[in-house]
């Protein structure tokens, strides 16, 4: 499970994003959220569930949101309303 | 951003905008009219102004997550709405009379807007710094295991 960097839904389709690969899945966002509850995964935005263990660093954006830079170089937006969930996982 | 988050943002921004507006009133009067006397109704009007300054946050309401560029466009729209709204209200309430005063009022609104965003960005930077510290610690702990 920790090989998954993040899960995203696009046009009602689910995708797992790993280091270099992307896999399509029939899982819905809420289903994946239920499966990963209590783990290092958290809801980062309306369509993304992110693995906190795969974040390299975060930085604030001008738009009031945060940008999570991942270990594979990708950047994922973390909406302000979900930052407390990330803080909880990090123990802050 | 969903509607609950928008309402929460409006309620959070309102006191910050009010504080910024009070500071700008002080500066404005210090430069143009140091003998100004204010009634209680002025403070109530400023509260209304601050609320009117916070409500345009509805511009950020969206069912889908926006890209950074689309979010910046909405930021510009938000700023323009606030400027137009407050300039009209200010003229109606006779807060400025001449073109020069109007320009200064415009700059004051810019100042309050910048104050709100700079303070938000400042606290976000601190939050990010704390999170990054913790991320580094977690990675060290996982390597040691």
Cβ pair A80:B5 closer than 8 A: yes
Predicted confidence at residue B7, as pLDDT, reads 81
Cβ pair A90:B5 closer than 8 A: no
Looking at the complex, report in whole angstroms how far the Cα of residue B145 sits from the nearest Cα belonging to chain A. Answer: 14
Angle between helix B40-54 and helix B3-32 axes, rounded to 10 deg: 140
| Segment B98-141, tens digit of pLDDT | 899 899 989 988 998 888 888 889 999 999 999 999 999 998 88
Residue A34 or B92, more confident: A34
DSSP state of B106: H
Predicted confidence at residue B103, as pLDDT, reads 92
- Nearest C-alpha in A relative to B139: A53
| Segment A76-85, tens digit of pLDDT | 999 888 999 9
The Cα–Cα gap between A48 and A82 comes to 11
Please, what is the average pLDDT of chain B?
Answer: 85
The Cα–Cα gap between B8 and B57 comes to 10
Cα A20 versus chain centre, distance: 16
Predicted confidence at residue B77, as pLDDT, reads 92
| Segment B63-96, tens digit of pLDDT | 777 777 888 899 899 999 989 988 888 887 777 8
In this prediction the ipTM stands at 0.87
- Nearest C-alpha in A relative to B8: A81
Best mutation target, A48, A55, A64, to test chain B (most B CBs within 10 A): A64
Handedness of CA B76, B78, B84, B87 (dihedral sign): negative
Asked whether the beta carbons of A19 and A5 are under 8 A apart, the reply is yes
Q: Which token pair is A24?
A: 């399509």
| Segment A44-85, tens digit of pLDDT | 998 899 999 999 999 998 777 899 999 999 999 998 889 999
Cβ pair B5:A53 closer than 8 A: no
The Cα–Cα gap between B38 and B95 comes to 12
- Nearest C-alpha in A relative to B132: A57
The Cα–Cα gap between A54 and B6 comes to 29
Examine the pLDDT at B145 and tell me if it is beyond 80: no
Best mutation target, B9, B76, B135, B143, to test chain A (most A CBs within 10 A): B135
- Nearest C-alpha in A relative to B116: A64
Q: What average pLDDT does range B29-41 have in this prediction?
A: 82
Examine the pLDDT at B55 and tell me if it is beyond 90: no
Predicted confidence at residue B1, as pLDDT, reads 56
Looking at the complex, report in whole angstroms how far the Cα of residue A87 sits from the nearest Cα belonging to chain B. Answer: 7
Predicted confidence at residue A1, as pLDDT, reads 75
Global pTM? 0.72
Examine the pLDDT at B2 and tell me if it is beyond 70: no
| Segment B6-23, tens digit of pLDDT | 788 788 888 888 898 888
| Segment A2-31, tens digit of pLDDT | 789 999 998 888 999 998 899 999 988 888
Cβ pair B65:A80 closer than 8 A: no
How many angstroms separate the Cα of B89 from the Cα of each of B46, B50, B53, B84? 11, 12, 11, 9
The Cα–Cα gap between A40 and A90 comes to 9
Predicted confidence at residue A16, as pLDDT, reads 92
DSSP letter for each residue of B70-99: HHHHHHHHHHHHHHHHHHHHHHHTTS--SH
- Helix H or strand E encompassing B6: helix B3-32
Confidence of residue A41 (pLDDT cuts 50, 70, 90): very high
């Amino acid at each position: 499970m920790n090989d998954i960097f993040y899960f995203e839904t696009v046009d009602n389709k689910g995708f797992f994003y790993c280091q270099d690969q992307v896999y399509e899945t029939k899982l819905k966002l809420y289903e994946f959220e239920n499966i990963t509850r209590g783990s290092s995964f958290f809801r980062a935005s309306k369509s993304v569930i992110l693995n906190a263990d795969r974040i390299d660093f975060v930085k604030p954006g001008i738009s009031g949101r945060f940008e999570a830079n991942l270990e594979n170089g990708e950047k994922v937006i973390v909406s302000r309303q979900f930052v407390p969930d990330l803080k909880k996982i990090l123990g802050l | 951003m969903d509607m609950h988050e928008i309402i929460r943002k409006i309620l959070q921004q309102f006191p910050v905008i009010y504080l910024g507006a009070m500071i700008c009133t002080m500066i404005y009067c210090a430069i143009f009219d140091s003998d100004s006397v204010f009634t209680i109704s002025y403070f109530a009007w400023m509260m209304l102004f601050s609320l009117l300054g916070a409500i345009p946050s509805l511009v950020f309401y969206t069912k889908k997550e926006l890209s950074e560029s689309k979010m910046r466009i909405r930021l510009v729209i938000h700023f323009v709405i606030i400027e137009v709204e407050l300039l009209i209200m200010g003229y109606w309430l006779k807060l400025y009379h001449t073109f020069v005063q109007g320009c200064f009022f415009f700059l004051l609104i810019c100042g309050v807007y910048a104050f709100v965003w700079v303070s938000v960005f400042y606290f976000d930077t601190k939050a990010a710094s704390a999170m990054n510290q913790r991320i580094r610690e977690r990675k060290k702990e996982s390597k040691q295991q």
